[in-house]
Amino acid sequence: MHAVSWLHKVFDMIIDYHAHLKWNRDSDTYDVESCLHDMDENKIDMRMISALEGYDIVHQNNVVAEAIKQHPDKLIGCAVLNPKERDVMKELHRVIDMGVFSAIELDSNEHCYFPEIAPHMEEIMTVCEEKGIIVNVFTGWGCRTMPAQWAFYADRHPDLVMVLLHMGTTDFGYGCVELVKNRKNLFVETSCMYEFPILRKAFANIPQDKFLFGTHYPHKFSDCSIHTFDLLKMEPSLSEALYNKNAQRLLHL
């Protein structure tokens, strides 16, 4: 039986916690319809989206906000911030005031900075902690993306919810497990993590309420992200926590 149909036989909903909108560089436009079509094709019920690529972060976040307003039953908003930008705090307060974003995304690889010394980072974390905004952070692939660099802020802000996107991938996956299992406010998202030894260690050591399923659409095929877990023969309770229950709780759905 196809993985998607099997999952829906076990429980009613799949939530993709991490995806982006396709960007056309020449026209500076974003393809929301392709995102929705991919969701329908892969039986994904809800998806968190951001517009990571683009010429102007304000415009990128506006596109996502409009998509959320048009499809509130399908899409969940995540605003992108670059701490190196002069008006980053103004943009943070603007997206919070819009009332359609559940999280912000910080990508130290895309925007080229070291998290532990990036400007405005402490201010960003403080505001998100006070406002109850989830902070999604890029981990994996290089010296600017180590989970420990982000855990530095999770430790300083115990009421902040931080999600380590990609689980540190193959570069930092094992270390990511050690960090998350001892910190209540750290969670992991699964896209781009295909190393079974790391996944097995994670499922054996991290509480099941800390896992969030993600696809990293359109950079990865959604069905590959879903099929990643087929051979792991997870307990139904873990599958349900991964694919929907944890995201529902975290996002108050």
Radius of gyration of the chain (CA): 17
Report the alpha-carbon distance of residue 65 to residue 81 in Å, rounded: 14
How many other CB atoms are found less than 10 A from the CB of residue 222? 24
Residue 1: pLDDT over 50: no
User: Residue 54 pLDDT more than 50?
Assistant: yes
pTM assigned to the model: 0.94
Residue 21 carries which side chain, given as an amino acid letter?
A: L
- Predicted confidence (pLDDT) at residue 39 exceeds the cutoff of 70: yes
Number of C-beta neighbours around residue 142 at 10 A: 12
DSSP 169-189: HHHHHHHHHHHHHT-TTEEEE
Spatial CA neighbour of 27 closest among 69, 68, 61, 55: 55
pLDDT tens, 187-221? 999 999 988 999 999 999 999 999 999 999 999 99
Mean of pLDDT over the chain? 93
Write out the DSSP string of 103-127: EEEE-TTTTT--GGG-TTHHHHHHH
**In this model, does residue 4 exceed pLDDT 80?**
no
Task: Tell me, yes or no, whether 48 lies in a domain.
Answer: yes
Instruction: Round to whole Å and give the CA distance between 45 and 75.
Output: 9
Q: For the domain that residue 167 is a member of, what is the CATH number?
A: 3.20.20.140
pLDDT of 226: 86
pLDDT of residue 230: 84
Has residue 3 been placed in a domain?
A: no
- Residue 143 domain boundaries: 15-251
Rounded CA separation 14/115 (Å): 31
Q: How confident is the model at residue 170 (pLDDT cuts 50, 70, 90)?
A: confident
Number of domains, the chain: 1
Q: How confident is the model at residue 60 (pLDDT cuts 50, 70, 90)?
A: very high
Distance, in Å, from the CA atom of 177 to the CA atom of 28, rounded to the nearest integer, reads: 38
Asked whether the beta carbons of 113 and 138 are under 8 A apart, the reply is: no
Alpha-carbon span 198 to 207, nearest angstrom:
15
At residue 231, the pLDDT reads 83
Q: Rounded mean pLDDT of 68-75?
A: 98
Question: Letter for the amino acid at 86?
Answer: R
Is residue 2 in a domain? no
In a domain, 7, yes or no: no
Q: Considering the domain boundaries, does residue 8 fall inside one?
A: no
Q: Whose structure tokens read 């944890």?
A: 246
User: What separation in angstroms does the CA of 36 have from each of 46, 73, 78, 190?
Assistant: 9, 11, 16, 21
Other beta carbons less than 10 A from residue 251's beta carbon: 16
d(CA 200, CA 234): 10
Residue 6 has pLDDT above 80, yes or no: no
Percent of the chain surpassing pLDDT 90:
86
**Residue 26 is assigned to a structural domain of this protein:** yes
Cα(132)–Cα(145) distance, integer angstroms: 24
Distance, in Å, from the CA atom of 12 to the CA atom of 218, rounded to the nearest integer, reads: 24
Model confidence at 112: pLDDT above 50: yes
Residue with tokens 């660099």: 149
Give pLDDT, residue 228: 86
pLDDT digits (tens, 9 = 90+) for 145-163: 999 999 999 999 999 999 9
